[in-house]
Amino acid sequence: MRESHLITGATLPNGERADILVQNGLIAKVGTVTDAAGATVVDGDGLIALPGLVDLHTHLREPGYEQSETVLTGTQAAAAGGFTAVFAMANTFPVADTAGVVEQEASLGRAAGYATVQPIGAVTVGLKGAELAELGAMARSRANVRVFSDDGFCVSDPLLMRRALEYVKAFDGVIAQHAQEPRLTEGAQMNEGALSGELGLTGWPAVAEESIIARDVLLAEHVGSRLHVCHVSTAGSVEVIRWAKARGIDVTAEVTPHHLLLTEDLVAGYDPRFKVNPPLRRTEDVQALRAALADGTIDIVATDHAPHPVEAKESEWDAAANGMVGLESALAVVHAAVVETGLMGWADVARVLSEAPARIGRLRGHGGALVAGSPAELTLYDPSAASAFDLDRLAGRSTNSPYLGRTLPGAVVATFHSGYPTYLDGVLRPADEVAQRAAEAREDAHG
């Protein structure tokens, strides 16, 4: 008999208060629980209970860039952020463009036990944009890949993009496009506009994103395929996606937490913590992205968690790496951007950070409602724990967070994955304990 947990008096996404009994890897009961002798009690008073968060866009860096992050440390960051599943992007070294690499990533994730690691496969060999990777082999591997992306690079060749969209229909796959016209963004350093002109930084024009999205939704319509757009960052992109959805095109889209909260004004001090691709945009873009998330034009929030070692950010702006860590701060940032502003409620948050990303990625066992009998993947969040976001809140290997020193409105208190806690009372559970619980859970599943 494994340890069971009774969460008392938590608030469900629909606003109801309930006890939640977690037993044998499942949510055993939701409501008023009186028969839970022997269960470890977690005081849920004042906490929001959400289905375990699912990130469709994480960079775990292993294999190849273990100085930035590993599958273990990246999933620890996920657990600290309330995530129970992460989709690992393909830009590792070697690139995740074969069945062998994606199976290795998935198995490292299982062994670590902090979260489900669902690998994303590369669209093209080595992310080079020249020939298709073995999409079918990755789909049929034990890693069961359904999402394919060259993220970091755009599949800019229109013929290759068309073929990729068509080909993955054979196994219900989706192409997640990093929409960035490469010729329009050569040497680009920040959003192109008044500020880039003043700072003398090469501009990354909104049209470089919008033109690729426009092309891709038309291609998806033409071949009847499913398209997902990564990290939408401009008001114009929102308009294109809104048009495509109205037309019935099978497109989904994500926005990052940082594009929902931060603007290009932060670039003015040339602090590379704020250097990210796509770049931070204008206030008008932030407002449009928030509205699009609230009205469903944008389906999900995905972190684009992009760890980098200290030296990659301690430099002049041009030489610094693009990217921000985002797993640990995502929920609090979404809280600040769309809940505190009255645009969305907690049920909407559960949709955009759990249910919809699991559905887009065809990931089983995640994203379901908190009801008896469903897998015990859940997160407890304290929405009244406003505090300065500091290094203690970061659980991954890298510290390139744009929020350090900024006050965020709440904090993750606990995360349960496969029925056991990975993060409890604001503290990460130890790696050996979590690995042990994960092994037991696998035995139960197979026994």
Q: Residues interacting with other proteins, by CB under 8 A? A: 189, 192-194, 196-203, 205, 269-270, 311, 314-319
Residue 447 has a CB neighbour count (10 Å cut-off) of: 6
Three-state helix/strand/coil letters over 304-342: CECCCCHHHCCCCHHHCCCCECCCCCHHHHHHHHHHCCC
Residues present in the chain in total: 447
From the CB of 265, what's the least distance to other proteins, in Å? Answer: 12
Taking the complex as a whole, how short is the minimal distance between the CB of residue 189 and other proteins, in angstroms? 8
- Single out the residue of 46, 9, 48, 56 nearest to residue 30, CA to CA: 9
Strand partners for 40: 5
Beta carbon of residue 375, minimum distance to other proteins (angstroms, whole number): 47
> Which residue is listed with tokens 């960052």?
233
Cβ nearer to other proteins, comparing 186 with 432: 186
Q: Is 446 annotated as a binding residue?
A: no
151 labeled binding residue: yes
59 is in an annotated binding site: yes
Query: Any known ligand binding at 304?
Result: yes
> Nearest distance from residue 269's CB to other proteins, in Å?
7
Phi, psi (5° rounding) for residue 9? 65, 35
Question: How far, in Å, CA of 170 to CA of 115, rounded?
Answer: 28
Burial level of 406, CB count in 10 A (0-12/13-18/19+)? middle
54, burial (CB in 10 Å: exposed 0-12, middle 13-18, buried 19+):
buried
Q: How far is the CB of 270 from other proteins (least distance, A)?
A: 3
Find out whether 60 is annotated in a ligand binding site.
yes
* Residue 57 marked as a ligand binder: yes
Please, which residues have CB within 8 angstroms of residue 427's CB and are 6 or more apart in sequence? none
Angle (CA) 41 43 44, round 5°: 125
Q: Which is nearer to other proteins, 94 or 205 (CB)?
A: 205
Contact at 8 Å (CB) between 45 and 17?
no
Characterize the bridge pairing of strands 17-23 and 5-11: antiparallel
Given the residues 97, 150, 216, 304, the one annotated as active site: 304
Q: Which is nearer to other proteins, 374 or 399 (CB)?
A: 399
Task: For residue 325, give the nearest of 346, 304, 309 by alpha carbon.
Answer: 304
Other beta carbons within 10 angstroms of residue 196's beta carbon come to 20
Nearer to other proteins, 198 or 432 (CB): 198
Helix (H) or strand (E) holding 215: helix 206-223
Q: How far is residue 144's CA from residue 147's CA, in Å, rounded to a whole number?
A: 9
* Torsion sign (Cα): 251, 257, 258, 262: positive
Helix 99-112 / helix 71-80 crossing angle, nearest 10 deg? 50
Pick 137 or 207: Cβ nearer other proteins: 207
Q: Which is nearer to other proteins, 182 or 269 (CB)?
A: 269
- Ligand-binding site membership of 231 (annotated): yes
Nearer to other proteins, 188 or 219 (CB): 188
Q: How far is the CB of 279 from other proteins (least distance, A)?
A: 14
Cβ 200 to other proteins, closest distance in Å?
3
Is 265 in the active site?
A: no
277 is in an annotated binding site: yes
Please give the annotated binding residues for substrate, written as ranges. Answer: 59-61, 91, 277, 308
Annotated binding site for Zn(2+): 57, 59, 151, 178, 231, 304
Give catalytic residues, as residue numbers.
Answer: 304
Give the residue numbers of the binding site: 57, 59-61, 91, 151, 178, 231, 277, 304, 308
